[in-house]
């Protein structure tokens, strides 16, 4: 990496930290008219963490996409600011200090993946190991003694006072498995069977993988009461299957299977039916006052409505009115104080992260990297769509959290690992041939 590239990336990273610090100061000014006393320590903490991540990236992935780390820093920092603001509003469960600690652990995981995984293509040899690991992680919350049910969903594993969501890490392992499996089987899966209404349907013998994934995703929905992970898992597989085969029929079959399965589950299982009732009839007073009813959803919509186009201003809203505003519903809390303009800016940052991941997929030289980078980019985009769609009532609420912004450790650690994988693959895709690197070095010496 040349000094010019390093300087540009470091400048973008510093700019992202400055934006976060400006928002942090804005919260203090909005609440009590003065800059928070801990602003310097907060800024040094966040800046130091991201500088450490940058140094690891510069050493171990010097040709990686220069925008990924600054973009993630920005959205992670905005999440920290909002958690701090919600904590000041009196929410006892919100802790900016804890979230900063989890961010530090996320940077450690980011660094560990970059240092330990010198060549991401070795993951292709671990295809089935990753698949078994992913399924094992999904099953863990169902085991006695360690599995825990919180807020109506059995998606947690507890050890003493600590708890994690294994599904957050399972999604990474399963995307690795999907990529390796589809690379090996894509020629068979691309073969056409019968033609129906201008669509070439796949052969019946090739439906096994999609049916197995469908059964697993519905099992997560029914047994763990986790619509979010179920939708995320099945959606990722369908999209990667389409990328591998370029067959639209797989997408149509996937949509029909999931919608049909979810409908049947809603008719049979009461907790699935209740989730759909809250979505369709959120204004019903009976549902609003019920335990696990629509109060959270409606308060989130009221908050976004009161924010309008430009928002009430940082520190000027009422996030404490939204249950779990620091976690599941941090997006409406941001919308109240930053308005539609702020939400669109944040969504644009997410879109840029996804775009850089897809650019890596397009630039990759081998099919495994193309599928893995595309799959990881999609699950990030899909997760944002699911949570935003849920809080705006486009789709039922799922229980997923906003990547990098919501409070909590499991999702933050898993998403930092996801970014590390994208960084590693972008380094491989953007790295010039050895002769080009040597020629660039000679040119720099001659210029000196």
Task: Name every residue whose Cβ is closer than 8 Å to that of residue 154 and which is 6 or more positions away in sequence.
Answer: 141, 142, 147, 148, 223, 224, 225, 226
Select, from the ranges 41-45, 182-186, 438-442, the one with the highest average predicted confidence (pLDDT). 41-45
Residue range 157-177, pLDDT digits in tens = 877 667 788 888 989 998 998
Q: Rounded distance, CA 252 to CA 229, Å?
A: 20
What distance lies between CA 17 and its chain's CA centroid?
21
First-last CA distance in the chain: 17
Residue range 258-285, pLDDT digits in tens = 788 777 777 777 767 787 888 888 888 8
The structure's pTM equals 0.91
Question: Degrees (nearest 5) of the Cα angle 361, 365, 368?
Answer: 65
Task: Name every residue whose Cβ is closer than 8 Å to that of residue 145 and which is 6 or more positions away in sequence.
Answer: none
DSSP symbol at 291: T
**Residue keyed to tokens 């070439």:** 200
Task: Name every residue whose Cβ is closer than 8 Å to that of residue 417 and which is 6 or more positions away in sequence.
Answer: 109, 110, 113, 169, 172
CB 357 within 8 A of CB 64: no
Beta bridge partners of 158: 163
CB 163 within 8 A of CB 157: yes
Q: Rounded distance, CA 396 to CA 278, Å?
A: 8
**pLDDT top residue among 222 and 429:** 429
10 Å Cβ neighbour count for 396? 22
- The pairing of strands 192-196 and 147-150 is unpaired
Q: Closest Cα partner for 412 from 48, 174, 137, 98?
A: 98
DSSP symbol at 398: -
Dmax (CA) for the chain in angstroms is: 77
Does the pLDDT of residue 3 top 80, yes or no?
no
CB 322 within 8 A of CB 306: no
Beta bridge partners of 148: 156
What is residue 350's predicted lDDT score, i.e. its pLDDT? 97
Torsion-angle region of 120 (φ positive above 0: left; ψ -120 to 50: alpha; else: beta): alpha
Does the pLDDT of residue 353 top 60, yes or no?
yes
Q: Rounded distance, CA 313 to CA 16, Å?
A: 20
Paired tokens of 145: 């003694």
Q: Rounded distance, CA 414 to CA 151, Å?
A: 21
At residue 90, φ and ψ (nearest 5 deg) are 105, 5
Does the pLDDT of residue 244 top 80, yes or no?
yes
Q: Rounded distance, CA 350 to CA 419, Å?
A: 12
Residue range 384-424, pLDDT digits in tens = 999 999 999 998 887 788 999 999 889 999 999 999 999 99
């Amino acid at each position: 990496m040349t000094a010019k590239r390093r300087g540009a990336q470091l400048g973008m990273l510093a700019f992202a930290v400055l934006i976060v610090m400006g928002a942090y100061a804005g919260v203090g000014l909005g609440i009590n008219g003065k800059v928070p006393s801990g602003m310097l320590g907060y800024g040094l903490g966040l800046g130091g963490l991201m500088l450490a991540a940058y140094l690891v990236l510069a050493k171990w992935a010097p040709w990686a996409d220069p925008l990924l780390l600054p973009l993630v820093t920005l959205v992670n920092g905005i999440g920290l600011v909002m958690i701090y603001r919600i904590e000041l509003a009196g929410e006892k469960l919100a802790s900016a200090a804890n979230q900063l600690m989890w961010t530090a652990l996320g940077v450690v995981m980011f660094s560990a993946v970059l240092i330990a995984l010198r060549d991401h293509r070795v993951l292709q040899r671990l295809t089935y190991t990753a698949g078994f690991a992913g399924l094992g992680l999904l099953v863990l919350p169902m085991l006695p003694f360690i599995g825990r049910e919180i807020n109506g969903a059995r998606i947690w594993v507890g050890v003493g006072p600590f708890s994690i969501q294994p599904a957050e890490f399972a999604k990474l392992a399963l995307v690795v498995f999907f990529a390796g499996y589809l690379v090996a089987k894509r020629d068979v899966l691309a073969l056409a069977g019968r033609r129906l209404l201008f669509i070439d349907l796949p052969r019946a013998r090739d439906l096994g993988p999609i049916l197995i994934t469908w059964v697993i995703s519905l099992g997560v929905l029914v047994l763990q009461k986790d619509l979010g992970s179920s939708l995320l898992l099945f959606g990722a597989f369908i999209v990667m299957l389409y990328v591998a085969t370029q067959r639209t029929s797989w997408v149509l079959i996937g949509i029909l299977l999931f919608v049909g399965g979810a409908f049947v589950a809603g008719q049979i299982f009461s907790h699935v039916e209740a989730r759909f009732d809250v979505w369709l009839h959120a204004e019903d007073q009976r549902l609003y006052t019920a335990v696990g009813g629509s109060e959270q959803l409606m308060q989130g919509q009221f908050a976004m409505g009161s924010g309008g186009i430009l928002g009430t201003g940082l520190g000027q809203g009422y996030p404490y009115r939204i249950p779990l505003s620091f976690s599941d519903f941090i997006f409406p809390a941001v919308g109240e104080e930053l308005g539609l303009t702020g939400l669109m800016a944040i969504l644009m940052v997410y879109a840029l992260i996804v775009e850089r991941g897809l650019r890596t997929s397009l630039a990759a030289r081998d099919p495994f990297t193309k599928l893995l980078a595309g799959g990881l980019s999609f699950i990030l985009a899909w997760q944002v769509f699911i949570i935003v769609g849920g809080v705006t009532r486009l789709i039922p609420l799922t229980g997923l959290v906003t990547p990098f912004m919501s409070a909590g450790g499991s999702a933050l650690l898993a998403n930092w690992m996801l970014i590390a994988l994208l960084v590693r693959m972008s380094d491989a895709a953007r790295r010039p041939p050895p002769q080009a690197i040597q020629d660039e070095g000679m040119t720099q010496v001659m210029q000196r």
